[in-house]
């Protein structure tokens, strides 16, 4: 049934006797499932709609919803301990850098461990989300409409391919695909392959091609810093520690180590980067430099023109090719919003703390960040923040304050990163995790002050109330230690988020942190 037809319209349900607002979570990928957990733990009534017949989103190879960009040779480029949720460690039997199916299994185990599966409605794409009469009206496949006071958007940002802009001149007689549609090395076997891009997917596909294709060419539109997965016998990201020291300073300390272990990019036939390490999203690969050093991959400058079976480059050289793979990133897209309501032009999404839409009350976004590290622990912290807001334990600042904060963030972003549509949602992992925890504490204090102003100093969330700012433990985090320890780098209530395991802690499964 088309939206707006004679569909069932359900009001926002509330528990008996009133209580928190009902919410809708869009998507059950790695961000959506931790949002579901945060709402369930806070007893906030919600629905979660997933377009696929399974959870896991981008990490499910061949996901029936068509939105997965996973391929059969995909391994994570963030180490296991940095990717895991704080209260559900990955199995220690997993390698430091697990394969895609191990990650998908981990998400399934997470959902089943916390009893979340029955709270997710599968095979139900969200078709439209509109604002009406102060509520959010959500229309799902089939035309059914439901109303909510809050919507948590977790549909991901690695599923809508972005092609070269402007398009490359000419016409190609061979095959062109986006990295999103690369699934297996059999697509490369015996072919003359050209891979366009210098990001993580481009490195993986070029390495695959170097083993299976007749020839492999890597088109470097600009220089990048390629960093290995291991440095001095440990995962590189395990050497990054949480602190108040700017992340860029940590990168400067890392550079001498990389100069010794990796050397200049020009040594491998790659163009010299024109930016400092950390000014772009990292290209992490433990294999590409080896294949370049062995001559199995040829590096070329940008493509000037496609001409039949020939690929011509800006340096005047050309070659025959059968397949061109464009690893040119993704667009941030919300097919269920009218563009006049909300969109992300040039991948720019202006959100308070990268979560809240200041002018659209009740609308939050989970997982729309691109860290040097994994999104999952950050999505977990974002979900807790939104859950606290819906429960009344966290209050946003004024709209004017939120807009000022967003403008400050945008100015920092422009100074910090190379101007690119890829870097509009880039964050420094540990610094952003600390920022979210600071904001949770500050918003808890705003909520407490608002309750006192209403004459309810003993209301839930006042000092001493369980899970409230001022209560024993981290803001709203039962069983966690003081956030002061987080700032000193001694302990993190989101263990995976800030990279530390406490000495002697059992690394097996189980609840190890508060929510």
The answer as to whether 509 is a domain residue is no
Least confident of 42-51, 254-263, 453-462: 453-462
In this structure, the answer to whether residues 215 and 133 fall within a common structural domain is: no
- For residue 198, the enclosing domain spans 163-328
In this structure, the answer to whether residues 372 and 312 fall within a common structural domain is: no
pLDDT at 71: 96
The answer as to whether 501 is a domain residue is no
The answer as to whether 514 is a domain residue is no
Distance CA 403, CA 408 (A): 9
Identify the residue with better confidence: 477 or 358.
358
Most confident of 95-99, 346-350, 486-490: 95-99
Would you state the structure tokens that stand for residue 60, as one six-digit string? 């499910």
In this structure, the answer to whether residues 323 and 193 fall within a common structural domain is: yes
The answer as to whether 324 is a domain residue is yes
In this structure, the answer to whether residues 434 and 290 fall within a common structural domain is: no
pLDDT at 463: 36
The answer as to whether 136 is a domain residue is yes
Question: Contact, 442 vs 386, CB < 8 A?
Answer: no
The CATH number that applies at residue 223 is: 3.50.50.60
How many structural domains compose the chain? 2
- Give the N- to C-terminal CA distance of the chain in Å, as an integer: 39
The answer as to whether 313 is a domain residue is yes
For residue 515, name the pLDDT band (cuts at 50, 70, 90).
low
Question: At which of 264, 294, 328 does a domain end?
Answer: 328
In this structure, the answer to whether residues 264 and 347 fall within a common structural domain is: no
Per-residue burial over 51-80, b = 16 or more CB atoms within 10 Å of its CB, e = otherwise: bbebbbbbbbbebebebbbbbebbbbbbbb
pLDDT at 4: 35
Question: Contact, 32 vs 157, CB < 8 A?
Answer: no
In this structure, the answer to whether residues 364 and 301 fall within a common structural domain is: no
Whether the upstream peptide bond of residue 166 has omega within 30° of 0, thus cis, is: yes
Helix (H, G, I), strand (E, B) or coil at 499: coil
In this structure, the answer to whether residues 216 and 303 fall within a common structural domain is: yes
In this structure, the answer to whether residues 263 and 314 fall within a common structural domain is: yes
Distance CA 46, CA 154 (A): 14
pLDDT at 456: 63
Q: Is pLDDT at 301 greater than 90 in this prediction?
A: yes
Question: Contact, 176 vs 55, CB < 8 A?
Answer: no
Looking at the DSSP assignment, which residues form a beta bridge with residue 326? 178, 196
Q: CB within 8 A of 267, min separation 6: which ones?
A: none
Tell me the mean pLDDT in the region 66-84: 93
Q: Is pLDDT at 160 greater than 50 in this prediction?
A: yes
In this structure, the answer to whether residues 111 and 229 fall within a common structural domain is: no
The answer as to whether 506 is a domain residue is no
In this structure, the answer to whether residues 409 and 306 fall within a common structural domain is: no
The answer as to whether 457 is a domain residue is yes
CA 260 to chain centre: 31
Question: Contact, 398 vs 387, CB < 8 A?
Answer: no
Q: The whole model's pTM is what? A: 0.84
pLDDT at 471: 34
In this structure, the answer to whether residues 175 and 322 fall within a common structural domain is: yes
In this structure, the answer to whether residues 254 and 134 fall within a common structural domain is: no
Q: Is pLDDT at 499 greater than 60 in this prediction?
A: no
């Amino acid at each position: 049934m088309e939206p707006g037809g004679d569909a069932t319209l359900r009001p926002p349900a509330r528990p008996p006797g009133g209580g928190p607002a009902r919410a809708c979570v869009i998507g059950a990928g790695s961000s959506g499932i931790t949002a579901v957990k945060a709402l369930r733990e806070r007893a906030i009534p919600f629905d979660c709609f997933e377009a696929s017949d399974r959870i896991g989103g981008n990490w499910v190879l061949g996901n029936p919803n068509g939105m997965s960009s996973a391929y059969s040779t995909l391994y994570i480029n963030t180490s296991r301990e940095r990717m895991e949720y704080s209260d559900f460690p990955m199995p220690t039997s997993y390698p430091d850098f697990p394969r895609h199916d191990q990650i998908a299994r981990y998400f399934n185990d997470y959902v089943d461990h916390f009893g979340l599966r029955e709270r997710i409605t599968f095979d139900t794409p969200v078709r439209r989300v509109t604002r009406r009469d102060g509520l959010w009206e959500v229309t799902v496949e089939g035309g059914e409409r439901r109303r909510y006071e809050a919507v948590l958007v977790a549909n991901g940002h690695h599923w809508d391919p972005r092609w070269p802009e402007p398009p490359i001149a000419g016409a190609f007689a061979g095959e062109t695909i986006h990295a999103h549609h690369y699934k297996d090395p059999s697509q490369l076997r015996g072919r003359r392959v050209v891979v366009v891009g210098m990001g993580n997917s481009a490195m993986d596909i070029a390495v695959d091609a170097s083993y299976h294709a007749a020839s492999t060419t890597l088109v470097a539109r600009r220089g990048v810093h390629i960093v290995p997965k291991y440095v001095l016998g440990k995962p590189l990201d395990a050497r990054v520690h949480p602190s108040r020291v700017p992340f860029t300073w940590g990168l400067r300390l890392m550079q001498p180590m990389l100069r010794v272990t990796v050397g200049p990019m020009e040594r491998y036939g790659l163009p010299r980067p024109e930016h400092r390490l950390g000014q772009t999203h990292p290209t992490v690969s433990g294999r590409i430099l080896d294949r370049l050093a062995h001559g199995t991959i040829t590096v070329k400058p940008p493509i000037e023109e496609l001409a039949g079976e020939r690929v011509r480059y800006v340096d005047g050289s050309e070659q025959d090719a059968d397949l061109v793979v464009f690893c040119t990133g993704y667009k941030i897209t919300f097919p269920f919003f009218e563009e006049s309501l909300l969109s992300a032009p040039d991948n720019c999404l202006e959100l308070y703390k990268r979560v809240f839409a200041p002018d659209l009350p009740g609308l939050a976004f989970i997982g729309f960040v691109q860290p040097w590290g994994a999104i999952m622990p950050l999505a977990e912290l974002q979900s807790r923040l939104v859950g606290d807001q819906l429960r009344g334990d966290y209050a946003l600042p004024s709209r004017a304050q939120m807009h000022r904060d967003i403008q400050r963030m945008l100015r920092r972003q422009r100074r910090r990163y190379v101007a690119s549509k890829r870097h509009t949602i880039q964050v420094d992992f540990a610094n952003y995790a600390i920022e979210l925890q600071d904001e949770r504490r500050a918003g808890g204090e705003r909520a407490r002050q608002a309750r006192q102003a209403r004459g309810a100093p003993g209301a839930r969330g006042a000092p001493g109330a369980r899970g409230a700012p001022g209560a024993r433990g981290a803001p709203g985090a039962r069983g966690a230690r003081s956030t002061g320890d987080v700032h000193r780098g001694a302990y993190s209530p989101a263990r995976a988020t800030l990279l530390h395991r406490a000495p002697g802690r059992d690394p097996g499964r189980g609840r190890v942190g508060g929510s």
